[in-house]
Each structure stands twice: as structure tokens, then as C-alpha cells.
């Protein structure tokens, strides 16, 4: 490998080590690494700033703003408490979460949805003497499953769509991956319920 390849590999290793040690916020680390690569001449300034003009990344940023607005106004929190407040068993909680988290994560970023439901699930678990891990792990998986249903479900989908357009490939429409994603989400939710029920019987 040439010197540029070794420098790039070294920077990647340093960023990974900093992430493991939580030395700085991830966004600052990645921006710093990009700036360093540009300063060393490994990438051009145009390449360094190319991501900021990617339509997929801009859409991700907008979705974060929308989700943050819903969270700060209390709408997401109200929905979470309203949904789980009347549930009596872990099975009913999992079913209610699947019915709400999957559709929500199909159109909003997964992170604020999971962050909103975590305290609600923990509160319900404590009141009903149920281990929170039995519901928190399925919550994460449900959000991931929902993200596979639409183009804007996850930032990964949007970034890939932007790269497709940049390389003269036809972009995906909103529900194109839903033909696979929706059945996949249904099967995944059913499997989570099956595993939770099986674990309950063993206990």
C-alpha cells in the first residue's frame, strides 16, 4: 500500500479508538477525520464536502428535526404512555409496541422513537414487576424492522438511494422496499412474540 493508504488506515484506527473510549462526540470525530484527510491531500475539498450536498443526508437531517419537534412538544411521549398505560401483560405490551413502533419508525428516525419508548417501557415494567430487558430488546428490533418498510425509514436507505442517483441509477420510490420490508417486519414481529412467549414458558 502507498503512504496515503497507510495514513487513511491510521486515521480510521484512531477514530475507532476514540469512539471506543468515548473521547469526543461521534460527529466531531468524523468531521475531524474528514478535515484531516482533506488537509493531508488524501481527499479533495470537493470530496470532503460532497456528503453535505447529498439529498439523502439532507433528508436525514430534516427527519431528525421533525422527530425532535415531536419529542419536545410531548406528542411522542403522550402516545407512548397512552399505548402502554392500559396494557396488563408483556404480550399485550409487545403487541401494542409492534402496532405503533413499526409504522412510526417507517417514517421517522429510529433513535428518537426508541429513546421515547425506553422510559415508558421501564416504568411499565417496574409497575408490573417484569424485567425491562424482555421488552427493551424487542423495542430496538421493532424499530429496526420498521425502518426497512420505506425509503425514509432509516438513514441507510436514504444514503444508498442518493448514491444510486449519483451513479446514474434510477432512485427508489417511497414504498419500493416495502414489498420486501413489510412482510419482513410482520414475520420479525411474530418471531419476537414467539421468542418472548417461549422464554416466559421456560421461566
How many other C-beta atoms lie within 10 A of the C-beta of residue 37? Answer: 19
- 3-class SS letters over 40-102: CCCCCHHHHHHHHHCHHHHHHHHHHHHHHHHHHCCHHHHHHHHHHCCCCCHHHHHHHHHHHHH
Q: What is the model's pLDDT at position 111?
A: 75
Does 28 have pLDDT greater than 90?
Answer: no
Span 155-176, average pLDDT: 84
The string of pLDDT tens digits covering residues 82-91 is: 777 677 788 8
Which of the two residues, 196 and 180, has the higher pLDDT score? 180
pTM of the model: 0.66
Q: What is the model's pLDDT at position 155?
A: 77
Does 36 have pLDDT greater than 60?
Answer: yes
The string of pLDDT tens digits covering residues 119-129 is: 788 878 888 88
Span 145-172, average pLDDT: 85
Amino acid at each position: 500500500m502507498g503512504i496515503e493508504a497507510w495514513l487513511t488506515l491510521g486515521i480510521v484506527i484512531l477514530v475507532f479508538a476514540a469512539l471506543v473510549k468515548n473521547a469526543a462526540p461521534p460527529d466531531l470525530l468524523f468531521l475531524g477525520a474528514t478535515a484531516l484527510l482533506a488537509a493531508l491531500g488524501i481527499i479533495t475539498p470537493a470530496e470532503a464536502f460532497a456528503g453535505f450536498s447529498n439529498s439523502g443526508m439532507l433528508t436525514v437531517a430534516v427527519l431528525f428535526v421533525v422527530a425532535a419537534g415531536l419529542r419536545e412538544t410531548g406528542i411522542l411521549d403522550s402516545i407512548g404512555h397512552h399505548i402502554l398505560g392500559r396494557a396488563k401483560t408483556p404480550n399485550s405490551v409487545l403487541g401494542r409496541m409492534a402496532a405503533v413502533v413499526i409504522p412510526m419508525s417507517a417514517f421517522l428516525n429510529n433513535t428518537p422513537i426508541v429513546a421515547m419508548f425506553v422510559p415508558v417501557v421501564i416504568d411499565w415494567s417496574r409497575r408490573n414487576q417484569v424485567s425491562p430487558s424482555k421488552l427493551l430488546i424487542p423495542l430496538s428490533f421493532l424499530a429496526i424492522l420498521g425502518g426497512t418498510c420505506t425509503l425514509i425509514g432509516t438513514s441507510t436507505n436514504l444514503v444508498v438511494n442518493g448514491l444510486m442517483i449519483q451513479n446514474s441509477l434510477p432512485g427508489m420510490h417511497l414504498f419500493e422496499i416495502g414489498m420486501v420490508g413489510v412482510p419482513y417486519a410482520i414475520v420479525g414481529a411474530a418471531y419476537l412474540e414467539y421468542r418472548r412467549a417461549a422464554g416466559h414458558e421456560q421461566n
